[in-house]
Structure 1
Amino acid sequence: MIKRFLLSVFLMSYVFGLSQNSTNGLLIYNVDMDEYVKRMESDTESRPSDDMMRNTARRIKKFKAQLEFDGFRAIFKVPQALSIDVNNKFDNMVRLFVSNGTYYTDLEKNHQIWATKFDGKEINVLKESKDKEWVLQNEKKKIGDFICHKAVFLRVVNGKEQEIVAWYAPEIPVQLGPKDYFGQLPGLILELKEPFLTYRCSRITFDKNKIDPWPVFENTITEKQYQDLTKKTWESILQNR
């Protein structure tokens, strides 16, 4: 039922959006940890890691993420800002926290290539679109010039539920958002709240330009292979302690 509803809304929005030339553009996200810090500071039990998280929260606001899209393709990444010291290890760690690599999304093929690094080597991970159980809410709010609708889904990490909240704009008929959030909601995600980070649209521009041709992806592995690789590496680290 929800898929049928999403499809009908998406098709109506798509026709409207084409007339508004809103399927090609560039979206800039500000990134912050404000809500996480509030929850952390309301916790009466202080931990040694809290100071590091506050420092991370302060530095993370120096970074911006960008989503370049042309209707059915998109590139999500964190550009190297001129104000960021590339030799600063902490800044580089924070940058990876915002986006650990570059995400190349192809909605026509219903997949994404995540270009990242592991153990000092560049790898490309093929990520298929997953059927996230988004629950559409009745709440709306205005972000910039667009009326956005709220959607929520729960994911389980290490046995604990985590709530993800997205605010998407049906007026911009592209099923895209930060990182690997794609192919599910009938509109562009202008705001995304995860347990630690919140991505907020600060600027969006539209044009008719197409994204540059895709790079050639070598050393491509599946998500399962990537998970096996990381598991094997961590097991080796723990055994050699």
Structure 2
Amino acid sequence: MKLKSILKNVAIVLVAITATNTLAQDGFQGQAVYMSKTTVDMDNFGGREMSPERKKMIMERMKSMLEKTYILDFNKTESIYKEDEALEAPGGRGGFSMGGMSAGPIYKNVKDNKLVQDQEFFGKQFLIKDSLPKLEWKMSGESKQIGKYTCFKATATKKVDAADWTNMRRRDRDRDKKDEDKETTEVEKDSTKTDAPKDPFEEIEIPEEIEVTAWYTMDIPVNNGPGEYWGLPGLILEVNSGRTTILCSKIVMNPSDKNDIKEPTKGKEVSMEEYQDIVKKKMEEMREMFRSRGGRGGGRRN
């Protein structure tokens, strides 16, 4: 048993040395392909009244938005993460599109603690420049195999931003009995409320925080990962965040055709906080517009 333990430790050291030597090469660069999938519970958004055929049709239409392929090009300190252009729908600009939002490339520089994100919002181009979001990762020691790579588990709690539509959920009005009783009392006082159209913004909410689980491999000791994720002693190969799973399906070390890793440059420069404020104001504007039109959406009154 002692000999077996020694051999195991020697193997770990050899892997670490090999990985370090790979990174030490001049012009080192790698490329990782990720599959991103977001699930939607249709029952929470009026799906209970829909037929199975109707649900299936809607999910098929949403498939291109909920299932994406991304490419992460990375070196020792930088990375660029963007949707695979070869699979992009005709006429698209890359990234997902939902409610007037379209996300472009995400650039990270772990040495300079820098994040730059290309973001389109209701026809306006923004360039989000900020420091890298820092998560307090907790290592569990748990491991699993992803492809040929041994990966280790880490978890963290992440604040959810106002533009994160993937974590929208139906508001649970039974969570707080006091709020429910108060709402009932208000409805009884104002009988006109029962005839008023439902405000869709009242039916949904975005949680303040969610738990994120990441699996990283020290076989590729770069402090990077898909999207905004980073901060672990190895490349992150899998992320589970809310209803979204991002899984690495392919890795190429030092590819013959290397893509440029450059910051996006187009758009109005804003910080992440400033962009969040813009999103919140737009959502409130849409809500007020809905109310002023009596809940009839975007149609004009005759």
1:186 aligns with 2:233: yes
Unaligned 5+ runs, structure 2: 1-13, 161-205, 291-302
Unaligned 5+ runs, structure 1: 1-11
| Per-residue CA distance 1:79-138 (angstroms, 9 max, x = gap) | 233573437xxx9637x99x8221011112101101110121111101312331211112
1:107 aligns with 2:155: no
TM-score (norm 2): 0.61
Q: CA deviation at 1:179?
A: 1.1
Match of 1:93 among 88, 93, 97: 97
- On the 8 A contact 1:21/1:207 being kept in 2, the answer is no
Moved more, 201-210 or 16-25: 16-25
| Residues 86 and 218 (structure 1), Cα distance of their counterparts in 2 relative to 1, 3 Å cut | closer
- Between the two proteins, the alignment pairs up a number of residues equal to 219
- On the 8 A contact 2:116/2:263 being kept in 1, the answer is no
| Residue matched to 2:119 | 116
| Residue matched to 1:77 | 82
What is the aligned-residue RMSD (CA, Å)? 3.5
Q: Choose 1 or 2 for highest CA Rg.
A: 2
| Per-residue CA distance 1:196-217 (angstroms, 9 max, x = gap) | 2211111100117573544545
| Residue matched to 1:236 | 285
1:18 aligns with 2:20: yes
TM-score (norm 1): 0.75
SS at match of 1:18: helix
Moved more, 71-80 or 209-218: 209-218
Q: How many Å separate the matches in 2 of 1:63 and 1:217?
A: 23
Q: CA deviation at 1:48?
A: 5.8
- On the 8 A contact 1:86/1:92 being kept in 2, the answer is no
Q: CA deviation at 1:60?
A: 5.4
| Residue matched to 2:181 | none
| Residue matched to 2:211 | 163
What code does the residue aligned with 1:181 have? Y
| Residue matched to 2:268 | 219
| Residues 67 and 232 (structure 1), Cα distance of their counterparts in 2 relative to 1, 3 Å cut | same
Give the share of equivalent positions with the same residue, in percent. 26
| Residues 17 and 161 (structure 1), Cα distance of their counterparts in 2 relative to 1, 3 Å cut | same
